[in-house]
Structure 1
Amino acid sequence: MSERRPAASTPDGVVLLHGISRTARSFRRMELALRDAGFATLNLDYDSRRKGLDALAEDIYPAIDLFERGLDGSVHFVGHSMGGLLARVYLARHRPARLGRVVMLGTPNGGSEIADRLKHLAAYRAFFGPAGQQLVTRRDAATSALLPTIDYCAGIIAGNRSVYPITSMGLPRPHDGRVSVANTRLDGMADHIVIRTSHPWLVRNREAIAQTLAFLRNGKFAKA
């Protein structure tokens, strides 16, 4: 976990939540860009493969609560893939008093068709753990209850390129190799944009980073 306070002129902070089986290091380039823009950052590691979304939301609460208390302004959230779902669960349970904006990158808001295909395989279940079972498109009642309709300013960035030519076969096009563009969409979202990159590179892509900054500042993406 890494944390940095902002310059006095820009008191907002950003919580970064990586995707399943990733670490905070995957957000390093995004984190540096946010810092350069004057935001405080909290780039969290969490046990994405060992617990379900409900337990993970409780695990990250103490660090986010402490971070929020040290800010003079709003706290924003940026989540990659499952990190976006974790942000939604967290905000449903522990919404900050000064919540800012939320950016989701390649988040399977409508579920992942890849998870549908692999959920019964022992190797998938062992590697991705309880949260991996919550990424499917047909969610059970308990998982659906964790993800209520949003009522905050959220922007979604989707990719439309794949680096998984075999495992992504059968995904509805366009897709990023893991999630279809259609399933990144979310009722109540403020804005949505599609960029030319694949699922794992959304956190490092220059345009994705620039669009994240644009949304955090203005509540909308910079359209060409």
Structure 2
Amino acid sequence: MTLIALLLPCLIIFGACATAQPQPLPLETVYLLHGLGRSRASMWWLGRRLKRQGYRVVNFPYVAAQEPLSSISDRLRERIEADDSARYHFVTHSLGGIIVREGFREGYPDGLGRIVMLAPPNHPPLLAKGLKGFPPYQWVTGDSGAKLTDVSFYEDLPIPSVPFGILAGTGGNTLLSKEKNDGVILVKTARLKGMADFKEVPHSHTFLMNSSDTGKFVLEFLRRGRF
């Protein structure tokens, strides 16, 4: 009887340890937004890396030539509302960052954590200004392309109200400008007031999101708010 009395507390404790399993944390969602003239395929590699680290990934689709910028932003917000994620983030490339900024006019659902912008044209990009009025540019870029050349649009564009970091490429050439650039935008035009961190990477605009160091920096910022 004494032995049973001694063993009983141990059995109770052991049983509690065996049944009380830690509850998994809810998945954090990352919404990927590709750049102008690109498709979701351009963000596939980055999305794959994020999934391997336990994130739920939504590679958001849009075609800039067929839909106004404000409409794309509205659809993004509606998708987030439908997903009802407890916590979510944005990782954008080029125009994708402008779409996300546009969404702050109406605001996003609760749960937005951090934003990583890859090569964002946060000021009118030099290349777009040079192509303004060129018919093929207008056909391919639509309303979004027109807004990228409009100084007044940028003056009224909201700045994110959550922590955001920016990666800017320096793998361009002197044909665009003698200043540091990624072949499409100048490094200085990627900067934005209020950013939590900024880092230059030696890649071109087109392939910046496919580089292994870019993936590493994205993960660091999503986790810690710094590159």
* 1:31-82 Cα deviation digits (max 9, x unpaired): 0111111111111111222233212111323222222x1x3x3110011000
Structure 2 contact 119–168 (Cα < 8 Å) conserved: yes
Could you say what secondary structure the match of 1:94 adopts? Answer: coil
Provide the residue aligned with 2:3 in structure 1.
none
What is the CA RMSD across the aligned residues, in angstroms?
1.8
Q: State which of 171, 184, 188 in structure 2 corresponds to 1:182.
A: 188
Q: State which of 24, 28, 36 in structure 2 corresponds to 1:20.
A: 36
* 1:139-173 Cα deviation digits (max 9, x unpaired): 22x5543x1233210000000002xx5xx724352
Provide the residue aligned with 1:157 in structure 2.
167
Among all aligned residue pairs of Structure 1 and Structure 2, give the percentage whose two residues are the same amino acid: 30
Written as runs of structure 1 = structure 2, the 5 A alignment for 1:63-212 is 63-67=79-83, 69=84, 71=85, 73-136=86-149, 138-140=150-152, 142=153, 144-145=155-156, 147-162=157-172, 169-212=175-218
Amino acid at match of 1:14: V
Amino acid at match of 2:158: P
Larger radius of gyration: 2
Shift of 1:10: 5.3
TM-score, normalised on structure 1?
0.86
* 1:77-135 Cα deviation digits (max 9, x unpaired): 01100001101112332322111000000000012100100011111111111100111
1:217 aligns with 2:223: yes
Gaps of 5+ in 2: 1-22
Comparing 197-206 with 43-52, which one deviates more in the overlay?
Answer: 43-52
Gaps of 5+ in 1: 1-6
Amino acid at match of 2:145: G
Shift of 1:195: 0.5
Provide the residue aligned with 1:9 in structure 2.
25
Q: Which is helix-richer, 1 or 2?
A: 2
Q: What number of residue pairs does the alignment pair up?
A: 205
